[in-house]
Structure 1
């Protein structure tokens, strides 16, 4: 199946008395991950706003949904995570963090992570939450001791089970709250499981201005050398210094940030590094998809991009995804879809200005699956598009063009089956678990 809908349980729609034809609700696909047997987990958000000026009338709600889909797109199970429910209050043990992302451990356990350092383990059937770790949003100027138990803001998994993470720190420069500042990896054979949080070894840091840090700011499981990362005990030079040396004034150090690092191999990782943005627009500003090995050595970058013509800043398209099983990386922004081999060579650039690829502007690239597909989500229609990636990346354009050419026919078939209203795809099948 070329496409399948991101569904919402009919029982949830009914319990919320949500009217799909109304304009007071919204849905957005956040992330997805594929499994080695062809299944897909999709993270999405569902919300409804209370009428403006009405105060809390018991209608406003915010939920996260994780749906498990069979290889043919059928919905097998849904986890419903209620952050705000009608009548007020929060009912979930899962914190509402930013930039939620999914990964799958070798034993099939699903991992949900979010900013600043929240990580949760789900059973494959989405019916239980065996382990939780979370990071306090303690203001950086507070002297209150840390009482939280964080793990990572993002987690990606190599084929061998190694964890590639973005970890957050308190009191970095003048940031008021914890920010993602460390690229850290687990050792081969390390295990993330209930009751066991593996040590992560810091291999790179975005910024080294942490003179305000105090002993309680150390996160014990993220280490450099024989001690936790804290103050000057961290990798150097920083990625900010490296980018500034390369781009000069073109890289804005103030506000620079990292996005989710992804593995290209067991010991090679692609790290999206961006300069601080401007209100007036940041197109043309410097950025890099840096290649780091597991010792923190910079091995180059994913090349061939023009800072202006291929800029990810317009539309904030910062995600990079990779297929470590085949050593390939992919990126989609407003101007094109790009594919690289693990040595950083650009193999395909599909410009969205050209007719066969214009429809890509309606999609966001979510992930590359272990079975050799790209998963893209339609921004408004809540559909997932699957593109089979050819072995020869230079022929990716033909594969994408063929898939897009059949999009309308596949979408019409899905509409006949599900009869969506206002692009809300309700589903009566599959188990529903409220966590």
Structure 2
């Protein structure tokens, strides 16, 4: 399925599709979500930095721009609509494709996550627990939860979550941020939590904390406590949170007791393995000179706030996700399987943490996977991959028997090449940019 650019947007800004991304523009796929009906949604960004343009440039053909886009697909991949949202009010951008005050973010890179809630509403989420609710037909933003630009000091603070995923029964698995993680003064993801009530435009559910990355974030005050994030019935904060923390658990599991080995670690997006079991990625500090060989782990956490294991069978150097920063993980709750794709392999585990498969990407049969990012696993049991340069989505059925994974992936990659050739004849893309003039464009 192509990731489209609306022709009206391309024409309005006179985008040079032949121009290299290194020259100051780009298209990035952030996330994919699937509705219970089988419809797909893709969240992505397009931006341009224009050399020589001043802050008061009004000609859209010359001015810099940035947009968040959400595209809706029918179950068979047919494009149904695209919503376009302008970036922040701090950028002097024309509002033809969405006003900044009703857009999806504080800056170009704000919206990172997408989830279809049980009632069909879309939730677009991002750093500092900003959450926007969007109608299923992409025509309107119905609610926003977030923190004002002034942060913790001024304004009305109404955050919800940085990431959201749904369980088979319709509960919401979320991550939320806290101040003082690793002594930083801004809000960083630190808590994994679950809800028992729905998130709607009219109501925000309570989150029950299941795990904490850092045990005691510094700089906490009573003013930082959130009445909607609870552990044992009380707001999470200071030293009140699930223990051991994920870092404490990993230090003990490695039999080193050295928590400083995980200094600067980050919390990844959790995935739902089954209704009562989740997998939480934890990644060590990244370095400018390269981080291959740095610590990482995928921790299994249950809905009773217990760390019950971790995914095994990965070598910190040979299988490092830090090459290319491939930190995504997906879970097939229909078969209780867990998947991870990085530049070295496609990995698959059972719900107990046993590594059942590793497809080596040095193998020519699977080497094309090095160009893909793992973005989702559908409720029907399909892995969804996004090609980083060809801007296409590939769906791969998850086998019930993981011994069949290699054959299934090989067949899917063959089909990808054939279907891509068909799409090229139909769409006539320019430099792998797919321009659509048929689906409705909604300005948020």
- Normalised-by-shorter TM-score class: over 0.9
Alignment of 1:18-417 (within 5 A): 18-23=15-20, 24-52=24-52, 57-58=57-58, 59-83=63-87, 84=91, 86=93, 90-95=100-105, 96=107, 98=110, 100-136=112-148, 138=150, 144-145=153-154, 147-187=156-196, 190-247=197-254, 248=256, 252-417=261-426
Change in Cα spacing, 1:138 to 1:299, as seen in structure 2 (3 Å) is farther
Change in Cα spacing, 1:330 to 1:226, as seen in structure 2 (3 Å) is same
Q: How many residues align?
A: 427
Residues of 2 paired with 1:282 and 1:356: CA distance?
28
Does the Cα contact within 8 Å between 1:16 and 1:86 map onto a contact in 2? Answer: no
Post-superposition offset of 1:324:
1.7
Q: 3-state SS of the aligned residue for 2:365?
A: helix
Post-superposition offset of 1:423:
1.6
CA RMSD of aligned residues (A): 2.0
Post-superposition offset of 1:111:
1.2
Change in Cα spacing, 1:135 to 1:355, as seen in structure 2 (3 Å) is same
Residues of 2 paired with 1:354 and 1:239: CA distance?
35
Does the Cα contact within 8 Å between 2:210 and 2:305 map onto a contact in 1? Answer: yes
Change in Cα spacing, 1:137 to 1:204, as seen in structure 2 (3 Å) is farther
- In structure 2, the partner of 1:16 is 13
Does the Cα contact within 8 Å between 2:213 and 2:247 map onto a contact in 1? Answer: yes
Give the structure-1-normalised TM-score.
0.93
Residues of 2 paired with 1:415 and 1:408: CA distance?
11
Cα shift readout 1:139-173 (whole Å, capped 9, x = no counterpart): 6xx7x256220000000100111111110012334
Give the structure-2-normalised TM-score.
0.91
Residues of 2 paired with 1:52 and 1:245: CA distance?
55
Post-superposition offset of 1:87:
5.1
Change in Cα spacing, 1:342 to 1:16, as seen in structure 2 (3 Å) is same
Post-superposition offset of 1:135:
2.6
- In structure 2, the partner of 1:419 is 428
Post-superposition offset of 1:131:
1.3
| Structure 1 residue ranges without an equivalent (≥5) | none
Change in Cα spacing, 1:45 to 1:55, as seen in structure 2 (3 Å) is same
Does the Cα contact within 8 Å between 1:138 and 1:178 map onto a contact in 2? Answer: no
Residues of 2 paired with 1:159 and 1:280: CA distance?
41
Post-superposition offset of 1:235:
1.3
Residues of 2 paired with 1:146 and 1:92: CA distance?
18
Matched, 1:433 2:436: no
Q: 3-state SS of the aligned residue for 1:394?
A: helix
Does the Cα contact within 8 Å between 1:251 and 1:285 map onto a contact in 2? Answer: no
Task: Name which of structure 1's ranges 387-396 and 361-370 shifts more when overlaid on structure 2.
Answer: 387-396
- In structure 2, the partner of 1:6 is 3
Does the Cα contact within 8 Å between 1:323 and 1:368 map onto a contact in 2? Answer: yes
Post-superposition offset of 1:92:
3.2
Does the Cα contact within 8 Å between 2:179 and 2:219 map onto a contact in 1? Answer: no
Change in Cα spacing, 1:191 to 1:389, as seen in structure 2 (3 Å) is same
Cα shift readout 1:313-346 (whole Å, capped 9, x = no counterpart): 1111111111223211111001011112212222
Post-superposition offset of 1:250:
9.3
Q: 3-state SS of the aligned residue for 1:236?
A: coil
Residues of 1 paired with 2:377 and 2:360: CA distance?
20
